[in-house]
Structure 1
């Protein structure tokens, strides 16, 4: 499936979750609701996906991505008053570590969910620094 189609479906799911739940819940509540909504819309989605960062074959760190959709789009969820450069850097690290090109940074703390689409352009010949472990957790 085309990445633009995937992000279009994800955006619709985010708006539906936000419409029903509104602001004020913990991040995990939105994660679980979005997991259900994305699967109902026919997308393959994993949550709490470990991302190992390797340096010369040695694991030097690990991140946990909130959602990985269709093995193409990383979705990072927040419930904060304001998204910051730190939140953007977090998602960019996930993209850089996995080699995925597109991520969505979502803040559910507002009346209307805030969605920032981020695209990573890796240098020529650069794949990634890590591997993504598949851990499909059910709600």
Structure 2
């Protein structure tokens, strides 16, 4: 199977659906780790392959730096999913998510804030990298 923008978008839809399912069940107001644990179960039920709390290697001037930087999820080795449960998403959250996407060289990232009333309309943002733009559309 050829990797395309369409496939990445369909995978995004599945991931977002899993997040919405968890949010419908739990609602807003819990700590991020609760949503994280429930999403691991939901991804298993959906048949999605994922890495949880993936340690991201940071290279500085050609050397790997000994630091612990982790993204919440890397799904199907294609999409970073960063979770928050905060009053408001700030630019630093967006920058963090986009940095993870770019360091891991994946086509897309999704930032989800579970501390909202409607996850679909106000609790998610997606970002695409240059790798996404290089893929065929269909």
Alignment of 1:40-79 (within 5 A): 40-60=45-65, 61-79=67-85
SS at match of 2:19: helix
Give the CA deviation at 1:57. 3.6
Give the structure with the higher percent strand.
1
Q: CA RMSD in A?
A: 1.4
SS at match of 2:57: strand
Gaps of 5+ in 1: 123-139
Gaps of 5+ in 2: 132-138
Per the alignment, residue 118 of structure 2 pairs with 112
SS at match of 1:81: coil
| TM-score, structure 2 normalization | 0.83
Give the CA deviation at 1:39. 1.4
SS at match of 2:130: coil
What is the alpha-carbon distance in structure 2 between the residues aligned to residue 62 and residue 88 of structure 1?
19
Give the CA deviation at 1:38. 1.2
Query: Structure 1, residues 65-115: CA drift from partner, whole Å, max 9, x if none?
Result: 001110100000000111011100000110111111200000000111211
| TM-score, structure 1 normalization | 0.82
Q: Does 1:85 align with 2:91?
A: yes
Per the alignment, residue 10 of structure 2 pairs with 5
Aligned length: 122
